[in-house]
Chain A
């Protein structure tokens, strides 16, 4: 623990503790440095996944072989999925912006368990290496899809067990982060910061943390069962041994569906900070947004079966899962209504984070509404396992989480780095990226309704048109991504020095200097009766 005199004047970026250079980062227990470590590791994995995605889209430019063989294509979409889901979007916002901002937003010096927090990052890195090693050093990169469905995943000669073990280690990182945030939010709020005055990003981290804590252990259970089957030949999932492949699907989705809410809840939280800030107006329906957050966190556990409507569950189970799926849609709709109402009679300052936020609302609506098609039984039977599903979840997971990530990035950037980015280039990057995104994923809805199954290396001529547009979109999107990243990297080093509170926000992180001091607050902040995260009066 450093004393405040030792760190006077230095911010968290320049401060030098026990170690120098890189060691000063990878052994730092400062939540802000850990947040940046996550940001750099996740950005690296995202760029890798993006390149794989581009390769896939290029292959689908024309029917027949374009650039790679079927085996390579199958491995490419598998590794793309594993990286993007387990290493990018699941840790995504909570690990990066949760770590960077949570203690600042509640007036704390750090999270409750800083060492555990560092351990979480180490576990994340270990998990990433384990999974990548399993992918690269096996008899061949796995070709099972990121869902690893039995019994195909048990037949293929690739390294399933180490990969699932890696996912388990990644899961542990997630569980510990969740636990850490729960305790932090319960115990470390500054005086006067009641639950009803918590910023909504903190509330969504809270809901997320419960899901991380309660749903992730299912991955561990699945691992134990996979190990029992592979090592000892106990028939659990493989029908050749007397197992049940549908049991695997249940276990997989009992975790992986709530994981979707781990991805999207903090994204909704970030948007709930950005909209009021740029409208300079109190968030509309604060309590309704909290209630809908907790409703999503809870009901989200109970809808996993909607991934399995054609798998052969009982009719009653399908009926029940469909009904609950429609019910979980309502809290998301409530959030959208509240965000849009927040704009009403505001004084809107249209800046880059705001562009990202309103485009988030649009893509999130498309993603959510297309989800209704998949939640209804009759329509799901037709479009399940088609390109429609791929379009839907990229709109939610990439459109939702990704747009919110970039919104949060451009929103908190001046706070994190103490410098401002070039706003014109940031806006150009946003525009190009958004156009690319729409062109890339919208045709998939059409292709799916026309009947093109997903995970297809090759397709019939009638699906060609939609695929050309989609591939073209992937190039535009990648161009936008490069513009955004180059601008941010350049600005982090050479941008104009940023003010303490450039967006005139009311939450606590904007009351400290940019970048924040090592211990965040020189004096513990106290929230008065009339203060609040959205009191713009």
Chain B
């Protein structure tokens, strides 16, 4: 069970939850009060008990009271809503910057030293600014425990959010803007750590894409990279058909693809895989739709792709 109650998990929780208390508090008083009065009238002035109605057409005094009082109360609510929201738009200058890539259907996080991850690792008590990049359609980055949410709009400049995690732990991170087939599976976790542990994690590059690791096991590295950039949201490794073709047995196979409107046969080799990653809409495999995948140009190095290819080979009976 992950933590999602009111936790003061970020610097915004206080402001947002105060607004909740004010609005819900006033609302419940009104809801219960008015319902009680209504039911009391229905009982008391039932025609069995009160057979003769008294005609009253209205009261200017009452109309003024019940216009002015709700007006003042709503302005209160507006103020608390505004006060809790205002700081969300002013990130401090010393905030740590992380770039978030959203695509159908995963998030990936890139740190200033090039470290990439599918989980958002953060140090406690350090303001963080997330620069949001939507690669295909609208997504929305939502961390309920932190009370933050911001849509990720493709092509939008200055698309960011910020917050300061104030509690160690694991918190859910959802995509909140509907983005297609696997929308409800587009979630990951925020891992808030002790700052020293975070530094150690951030500078430890042995697990992903390092030359040492690649030399040790390119296939394991390839798989890890694919996990981080979200390939498996659309491509399975067990032969199940999702939005894209399964990777199972694909290496060395002959596929029928449509290129520029014409059908042709291709063999899945290094060039084909490289092209499929960097120009995914050039060749469309029969039975799949165009336009769902966007290029990974700039997000993967040639060495990364080599590792991916090594991993794909392990899923097939064909040898080189």
**Partner-B contacts on A (CB < 8 A):** 70-71, 74, 143-145, 149, 151-152, 155-157, 239-240, 242, 244-246, 279-282, 284-288, 310-312, 315, 318-319, 322-323, 326-327, 329-330, 333-334, 336-338, 340-341, 343-350, 358, 361-362, 365-366, 369-370, 372-373, 375-382, 384-386, 449-451, 453-462, 536-537
Question: Which B residue's beta carbon lies closest to that of A349?
Answer: B47
- Which one of B81, B182, B184 has the greatest number of beta carbons of chain A within 10 Å? B81
Whether A155 and B291, one on each chain, are in contact in the complex, defined by CB atoms closer than 8 angstroms, is yes
What residues make up the interface of B, taking CB atoms closer than 8 Å to A? Answer: 1-2, 4, 12, 15-16, 19-20, 23-24, 27, 30-31, 34-35, 37-39, 41-42, 45-47, 50-59, 62-63, 66-67, 70-71, 74-75, 77-78, 80-85, 88-89, 136-138, 140, 142, 144-145, 147-151, 153-156, 159, 172, 174-185, 187, 289, 291-292
Interface residue SS majority, chain A: helix
In the bound complex, CA of A21 to CA of B187 (Å) = 58
Instruction: Please name the residue on chain A nearest to B84 by beta carbon.
Output: A378
Closest to B41 in A: A343
Contacts A348-B47, A369-B27; is A330 near B16 (CB within 8 Å)? no
Report 8 cross-chain contacts, Cβ distance below 8 Å, ordered by A residue. A246-B156, A279-B53, A340-B38, A348-B46, A370-B27, A376-B82, A456-B183, A537-B55
Please give, as numbers and ranges, the residues of chain B lying within 8 Å of A315 by CB-CB distance. 89
Closest 8 CB pairs of A and B: A376-B81, A451-B144, A378-B84, A239-B155, A377-B85, A369-B27, A343-B41, A456-B184
A340 and B37 within 8 A (CB): yes
Q: Inside 8 A of B140's CB, which chain A residues have their CB?
A: 310, 385
Question: Of A284, A347, A450, which is in contact with the most chain B CB atoms at under 10 Å from its CB?
Answer: A347
A379-B45 in contact given A74-B181, A151-B137 (Cβ < 8 Å): no
A-B CB contacts (within 8 Å), total count: 259
Say yes or no: B78 contacts A246, CB within 8 Å: no
Given A330-B74, A373-B20, A382:B153 Cβ within 8 A: no
Bound CA span A347–B34, Å: 20
Known: A375-B81, A451-B4. A143 touches B181 (CB 8 A): yes
Contact status of A379 and B23, CB under 8 A, knowing A311-B151, A319-B82, A322-B82:
yes
**Residue A385 contacts which of B47, B50, B176, B180 (CB distance < 8 angstroms)?**
B176
Q: In the assembled complex, which residues on chain B have CB atoms less than 8 Å from the CB atom of A381?
A: 16, 85, 88, 147-149
A347 touches B176 (CB 8 A): no
> CA–CA, A144 to B172, complex, Å?
25
Give 17 A-B pairs besides A282-B56, A378-B12, A380-B81 with Cβ atoms closer than 8 angstroms: A71-B181, A74-B181, A151-B138, A286-B58, A288-B63, A310-B149, A310-B151, A329-B74, A341-B62, A348-B42, A358-B39, A362-B38, A378-B16, A381-B85, A381-B149, A450-B4, A455-B178
A347 CA to B53 CA in the complex, in Å? 5
Q: Are B19 and A379 in contact (CB under 8 A)?
A: yes
Separation in Å of the B28 CB from the closest CB of chain A? 8
Give the complex CA separation of A341 and B182 in angstroms. Answer: 50
How close is A380's CB to chain B, nearest CB, in angstroms? 7
